[in-house]
Amino acid sequence: MRFGRISGVLLGAVLVLVGCAPTGEQGADTSASSSSPTVDLSFTAETLNGTSFNGERLAGRPAVLWFWAPWCPTCRAQAPGVTALTERFDGQVSFVGVGGLADDADIRSYAQQVDGPTHLIDPEGTVWQHFGVTAQSTYLVLDAKGVIVAEGYLDDHVLADKVEELVG
């Protein structure tokens, strides 16, 4: 337990140093090739309403995982776009927000303000570590087979284009 807490604090410190702004070219898309391996969806986390979320339930349909922090201005600016995409593609694409890099109460408070995605409360950074996420705001866009089709910072229009491509 102590190691997990220390590693979570260290991860948080590194991510704070990385900053909230995207690195590299704005809207950069690090699309994967068709030979990319599938991601490991075997993780669990607590949802905003306190239930357990099993990542394996994302299998079989496209999914967008959005890794955010409640204090991040970039993340806050992206929230309306995520909400709009969640509403537009309801039932076709799974949207999951993974709040981290803050204490439980701050993550919950902000998540309650963002309608649409299923929010996971990840103050220790366990889900972030599972996917190798090291900065906020980060998207992980998966096709129905669990292959990464885009990851990293994505502008709203780039994210929307990727989701539209997945749905067809």
**Residue 42 near residue 56, CB atoms below 8 Å:** yes
Question: CA Rg, the chain, in Å?
Answer: 15
Rounded Cα distance between 75 and 82, Å, is: 10
Instruction: Provide the pLDDT for residue 14.
Output: 39
Q: Provide the residue range defining the domain that includes 25.
A: 2-167
pTM of this structure: 0.81
Instruction: Provide the pLDDT for residue 36.
Output: 66
Helix residue ranges, H only, 19-62: none
**Ranges of residues in the chain whose predicted pLDDT is under 50:** 1-19, 21-34
Q: Which long-range contacts (C-beta less than 8 Å, at least 24 apart) are formed by 33-38?
A: 34/147, 36/147, 36/148, 37/147, 38/145, 38/146, 38/147
Query: Residue 150 is encoded by which pair of tokens?
Result: 């885009």
Instruction: Provide the pLDDT for residue 110.
Output: 97
Rounded Cα distance between 89 and 72, Å, is: 25
Instruction: Provide the pLDDT for residue 55.
Output: 97
Say how many domains are in the chain: 1
Q: What is the CATH number of the domain that holds 113?
A: 3.40.30.10
**Residue 92 near residue 62, CB atoms below 8 Å:** yes
Instruction: Provide the pLDDT for residue 85.
Output: 98
Instruction: Provide the pLDDT for residue 29.
Output: 41
